[in-house]
Amino acid sequence: MTARRITLFGGHYGSGKTNIAVNYALHLKKTGFDTVVCDLDIVNPYFRTKDSKAELDEAGVRLIAPEFANSNVDLPALPQELYGAVQNRSLHAVLDVGGDDRGALALGRYAPYILEENDYDMLFVANFYRPLTPDAGSALSVMREIEAAGGIPFTGIVNNSNLAEETTPEAVLRTVGKADELSRLSGLDVCMTCAERILAEELKGRIPDLFPLDLQKKYYEIHQVRMNRK
Amino acid sequence: MAEKVLMKGNEAIAEAAILAGCRHYFGYPITPQTEIAAYLAKRMPKIGGCFLQAESEIAAINMVYGVASAGKRVMTSSSSPGISLKGEGLSYLAGSDLPALVVNVQRGGPGLGGIQPSQSDYFQATRGGGHGDYRMIVLAPASAQEMADLTIKGFDLADNYRVTCMLLADGTMGQMMEPVELPAPVEPSVGKPWAVTGTEGKRRHNIINSLSLVPEELEQLNFARFERYAEIERKEPMWESFMAEDADIVVVAFGIAARVSKNAVVAARESGIKAGLIRPITLWPFPKQPLAEAAQKAKHFISVELSMGQMIEDVQLAIRCSRPVTLCNRVGGMIPTPEQVLESIRSANRR
């Protein structure tokens, strides 16, 4: 897809927004854009863009995150540089919007600038393996709630359906119909289907607009805990 | 087989409660368990259930008392400081012999502490938390799947024995996302003739009460209650044994600490040390028997905990101090690494 100056990722709680935002920002940087990634999530103090700070620093992508993220001060405040990132037209900005309508509330204060400039994509991240969005209808309800709270209408759909480490190419393929149905219901295109790079290789040619994910931050990896052995 | 879904541990608890027939949830937000409340706030109204954000943890546990008295399955959840607030209510539930499921997704303490995972409410969960002679069944899940399975098990145990069951998880278990195969919905299997449901003029009225001013009667109530507790201790201990049969070094750990320890045990075996893991799934009743059996062969025990050494006392009691037990721990929201546990195993093996 063609990169607009501002790309926003919103969606249901736990749909993978943060992960995709970080990966997409790294992708933009590689493409040659001066990129900043902004963490608007004031809801979830556990999974944060800041968990990927080292990788972002190394790639030269600036991160703007709530000052107290990842500290024990769980203060839901947004940093002032966010205005700058949203308004500085020499930058490409990737915005990680908090989960659900509650998380999207914080977007409201930036919405007027984003809408006025009108060079943005607001992408709805869907994981049809999440329990509260198992089908297109329920995903559409979440989509409408976020739009009402954040004040910016969605412009496209990102299918990020996965079962974490149990994801198979078939598991991704089984959700293509649901993503298409959501596309039909909402009138928006499915502009990306995400999969970990190793799966994306296997899916090549079977799904259009694949976006391979390289960086998967998981809470238990952050704490150096490997997967459960049976 | 049902198709798997990707769930946070907290969401798995919430959905499993619904599958267990729980239609009443009362809670108050606190990290890292708020997803339970958020999930049920969305789900309960759609299935004719009751989600209520109470004005406090204390109010929530007393609402639990009310619904439990009416014989319905009911749940509340909180994290460490909130569970302390519920302490009085837990004692009243016990004193009235009411079944309920209480979830504690632990965070570091004491006091307000932090929001990161901890297991330092072990004493509080297994030794009471409220006043008086009473016990709670304490279940310790180690995966999102077990968060779901043990939630359902917890409701069954609570009903069967008329006790409060506590699901003792931690911030990691609550927050991590894993594929879960949701169990089929279950029907409560035991009747509740003691419940306050209206007599319809057909029987004497039931009274739910924890006040008993005649000492002879109160003594008998305590005796009867402890007969039930003894039955629970006989029948209900649950544990997972991993390479423990021939182990020289037995690691004992539950929840997230057990996941870390499993990796350390595998690494120890690869380096030629006979290590094994016993993972208590019920913390009360504590699985004494497998530990006592392991002590006949093992030379050393290690208790891996996210606390300053609480479960270690139960390990020592279970093996009657017949072998040395050392502590391997991190606290304050930190988690031991597999390497740290492996080093503990190595050091025990050198003795």
CA B198, B200, B202, B204: dihedral to nearest 10 degrees? Answer: 30
Higher pLDDT, A19 or B282: B282
Q: Supply the pLDDT for residue B10.
A: 97
Pair of tokens at residue B212: 């008993």
Lowest mean pLDDT across A174-188, A209-223, B50-64: A209-223
Chain B contact probe: residue of A68, A142, A160, A163 with most B CBs at under 10 A: A163
pLDDT at A105: 87
Using the predicted structure, report yes or no on whether residue B73 has a pLDDT greater than 80. yes
User: What is residue A98's predicted lDDT score, i.e. its pLDDT?
Assistant: 82
DSSP B261: H
In the structure encoding, which two tokens stand for residue B180, read together?
Answer: 């879960």
**Can you tell me the distance from the alpha carbon of A40 to that of A122, in angstroms, rounded to the nearest whole number?**
14
Nearest to A228 among B8, B38, B143 (CB): B143
Write down the pLDDT at residue A102: 78
Q: How far is residue B79's CA from residue A46's CA, in Å, rounded to a whole number?
A: 15
- Taking only the tens place, the pLDDT of each residue in A48-88 is 777 788 889 999 999 988 766 555 555 667 778 888 888 89
Angle, alpha carbons B111-B302-A227 (nearest 5°): 80
Residue with tokens 């069967």: B160
Q: Which of A122-136, A150-164, A213-227, B41-55 has the lowest mean pLDDT?
A: A213-227
Among A191-205, A210-224, B65-79, B214-228, the least confident range:
A210-224
Distance from the A99 Cα atom to the nearest Cα atom in chain B, whole angstroms:
12
What is Dmax (Cα atoms) for chain B? 73
Q: Structure tokens of A152?
A: 């910016």
The strand pair at B164-170 and B100-106 is best described as: parallel
What is the percent of chain B where pLDDT is above 70?
Answer: 99
- Average pLDDT on A198-217 reads 90
Token pair belonging to B90: 């837990």
Probe site for chain A from B1, B5, B6, B147 (most A CB atoms < 10 A): B6
A219: contact with B, CB 8 A cutoff: yes
Q: Which of A98-107, B97-106, B154-163, B167-176 has the lowest mean pLDDT?
A: A98-107
Are A163 and B259 inside 8 Å of each other by CB?
A: no
Residue B262 to residue A228, Cβ atoms within 8 A: yes
Mean pLDDT lowest among A145-154, B1-10, B17-26, B279-288: B1-10
Residues 6+ apart with CB under 8 A from A62: A35, A36, A37, A56, A85
pLDDT digits (tens, 9 = 90+) for A17-48: 989 999 999 999 999 999 999 988 776 666 67
Right CATH for B5-194+222-235 from 3.40.1080.10, 3.40.50.970, 3.40.50.300, 3.40.50.720: 3.40.50.970
Q: Which residues of A touch B259 (CB under 8 A)?
A: 220, 225, 228
Q: Does B326 score more than 50 pLDDT?
A: yes
Is the Cβ pair B177, A218 closer than 8 Å? yes
Asked if A229 reaches chain B (Cβ–Cβ under 8 Å), the answer is: yes
**Shortest alpha-carbon distance between residue A58 and chain B (Å):** 26
pLDDT tens per residue across span B110-137 = 999 988 899 999 999 999 789 999 999 9
Domains B5-194+222-235 and B240-350 share a fold: yes
Chain B residues with CB under 8 Å of a chain A CB are 4-8, 11, 15, 31-32, 35, 38-39, 42-43, 114-116, 142-143, 171-172, 175-179, 182, 256, 259-260, 262-263, 266, 333, 335, 337-338
Supply the ipTM of this predicted assembly: 0.87
Q: Is the pLDDT of residue B107 over 70?
A: yes
Question: H/E element holding B167?
Answer: strand B164-170
* Residue A219 clears pLDDT 60, i.e. is over it: no
Contacts of A47 in chain B (CB under 8 A): 175
What is the predicted pLDDT for the residue at A42?
72
> Is the pLDDT confidence value at A229 over 60?
no
For residue A73, what are the contacts with CB-CB under 8 A and spacing of at least 6? none
Q: Quick check: A129 and B42 CB within 8 A? A: no
Instruction: Say whether pLDDT at A118 is over 60.
Output: yes
- The per-residue pLDDT of chain B, averaged, comes to 96
Instruction: Give the 3-state DSSP-derived string for B32-55, with helices as H, strands as E and coil as C.
Output: CCHHHHHHHHHHHHHHCCEEEECC
Q: Which residues of B touch A131 (CB under 8 A)?
A: 5-7, 11, 15, 182
Contact B337 A218 (CB under 8 A): no
Report the CATH number of the B240-350 domain. Answer: 3.40.50.920
Domains of chain A are 6-66+78-222 (3.40.50.300)
pLDDT, position A230: 34
Work out the minimum CA distance from A161 to partner chain B, whole angstroms: 9
Minimum distance, in Å, between the CA of residue B142 and any CA atom of chain A: 9
Closest by Cβ to B5, choosing from A47, A131, A226? A131
Say if A132 is an interface residue toward chain B (CB within 8 Å). yes
Give yes or no for residue A10 having a pLDDT over 80.
yes
pLDDT at A41: 77
**Largest pairwise CA distance in chain A:** 54
Does residue A226 surpass a pLDDT of 50?
A: no
> Among A129, A218, A225, whose Cβ lies nearest the Cβ of B5?
A129
Q: Which residues of A193-207 are buried (b: 16+ CB within 10 A; e: fewer)?
A: bbbbeebbeebeeeb
Contact (CB, 8 A) for B147 and B232: no
Residues in A closer than 8 angstroms to B29, CB to CB, are none
- For residue A225, name the pLDDT band (cuts at 50, 70, 90): very low
Half-sphere exposure (Cβ direction) of B193: Cα atoms closer than 13 Å: 3
> From residue B27, how far is each of A82, A197, B24, B47, B102 by CA, in Å?
34, 41, 10, 18, 10
Model pLDDT for residues B207-242, shown as the tens digit of each residue: 999 999 999 999 999 999 999 999 999 999 999 999
Domain ranges of chain B: 5-194+222-235, 240-350
The number of C-beta contacts closer than 8 angstroms across A and B is 81
Chain B hits for A228, CB-CB cut-off 8 Å, are 142-143, 259, 262
In this predicted structure, what is the pLDDT of residue A174?
Answer: 96
Chain B residue at shortest CA distance from A72:
B114
A229 vs B263: CB contact, 8 Å cut-off?
yes
Residue A165: predicted pLDDT: 86
pLDDT at A131: 93
